[in-house]
Structure 1
C-alpha cells in the first residue's frame, strides 16, 4: 500500500503518527510524508530563512530514517490558508503519493495551521481522484481512507483506533530527535521538550490497550466509507 501522512509543520508527523509509519515501513509499504509549512517561526534567535533551511534538513533526515518520500510544500509558517494555491499543492501531494491511506490532523487541534491543514487535506481527498480537477499531476487511482491523528497532548480527542507502537518507540524517538532545533524552541515557548510531549502522550495512549506506548486515531466518517481500522499496521487486510 501507499501511505501518506500530511503534517502542518516539520515534526508534527513524527509526534502524532511516527510509530505507526515505522510499522508500515517494516511491513514493506511505501511511505510518503508531506509537510505544508516551512517551519519558519520556530526559533528564539534565527532569521526565518535560517530556521526554514534548518527545519527542511531536519525533516529530510527524519524521512530518510523511515525510508519515506518527503513532499515539502513550503508555505509560510502560521499563514496557511484554504485558498486555491494551497489546495492545489495539497492535491498534488496526494496525487504524487496516490495513497490507500492518509493520516491528517484532527479538525480541532490546538493551532490554526493544524486545523487548516486538516480541512484542506480532507477536502482534497475526493477531488484528487477526479480527472477534470486539473493540476500538474494526473488524478489518483483511488479515494484514500482518512485517519485523523491524535491532538497534541491528546487534548479533546476521543480515539476510535489504537496502534501499539511499543516495538518501534525507539525509532519514533530517533525520528523526532532529528528535529534538534525544536527542542530549544519548545523549551523557550512552552517550557517542555518536544520529546517529553511525545513520550507522555505515547505512554498515556498505551494505557488504553495495556501497551508500553500507542498512537491514537479516528476515521473520517463521510461518504464514501473506505474501510477502517483493518488498514492499520498489524491488522488483517
Structure 2
C-alpha cells in the first residue's frame, strides 16, 4: 500500500503518528510524509528564511529514518488558508502519493494550521480522483481511506482505534529528535527542563495504558462518503 501522512508543520507527523508510519515502513509499504507549512516562524534567533531552510533539512533527516518520501508544500507557517491555490496544492500532494490510507489533523486540534490543513486534506480527498479537476498531476484512480491523528496532548480527542507502537517507540523518538531547532524553540519558550519529546512520550504512554501496552497512537475514522476502507488498514489494529 501507499501511506500518506499530511501534517501542518515539520514535526507534527512525528508527534502524532510516526510510530504507525514506522510499522508500515517495516512491513514494506511505501510511506509519504507531506508537510504543509515550512515552519518559518519557529525560532528565537534565526531569520524566517534561515529557520525555514533548517526545518526542511530536519524534516528530510526525519523521513530518512524510515525511508519515507517527503512532499514539501512550503506554505508560510501560521498563514495557512483554505483557498484555491492551497487546495490545489493539497490535491497534488494526494495525487503524488496516490495513497490507500491517509492520516490528517482532526477538527478538535488546538492549532489553526492543524485544523485548516486537516479540513483542506479532507476536502481534497475526492477531488484528487476527479478527472476534470485539473492540476499539475493526473487524477488518481482510488479514493484513500482517511484517519484523524490524535491531538498533541490528547485533549479533546477520543480514539476509536489504537496502534501499539511500543516496538518502534525509539524510532518515533529519534524522528522527532531530528527537529533540533524545535527542541531549541521549546526550551526557549518553556524552559531548559522541557524537551521536544516530553509531550509526545506522555501522550503515547497514556494511549498505551488505554489499550494495555507500553505505548500507542490513537486514531479516529473520517466518516465522509465514500467509505473506502476500515480500521483493519491500521498496522496491528486494536480497539
TM-score calculated relative to the size of structure 2: 0.97
Map of 1:157-176 to 2, 5 A cutoff? 157-176=157-176
Secondary structure in 2 matching 1:5 = strand
Offset of residue 3 of structure 1: 0.2
Q: C-alpha offsets along residues 107-149 of structure 1, whole Å, 9 cap, x if unaligned?
A: 1201110000010000000000001000000011200000000
Q: Could you tell me how far apart the structure 2 residues matched to 1:3 and 1:141 are?
A: 15
Aligned equivalents of 1:190, 1:88: Cα separation in 2? 37
Offset from partner CA, 1:153-177 (integer Å, 9 cap, x none): 0010010010000000000011111
Aligned match of 2:91: 91
Structure 1 runs not aligned, ≥5 long: none
Aligned to 2:146: 146
Deviating beyond 4 angstroms after TM superposition, the runs of 4 or more aligned structure 1 residues are none
TM-score (norm 1): 0.98
How far, CA to CA, are the matches of 2:196 and 2:131 in structure 1?
41
8 Å Cα contact 2:163/2:237 also seen in 1: no
Match runs of 1:214-233 below 5 Å: 214-233=216-235
Alignment coverage as a number of residue pairs? 236
Q: CA deviation at 1:235?
A: 4.7
1:57 maps to 57
What is the SS of the residue equivalent to 1:50?
helix
**Higher mean displacement: 227-236 or 71-80:** 227-236
Matched residue of 1:71: which SS?
strand
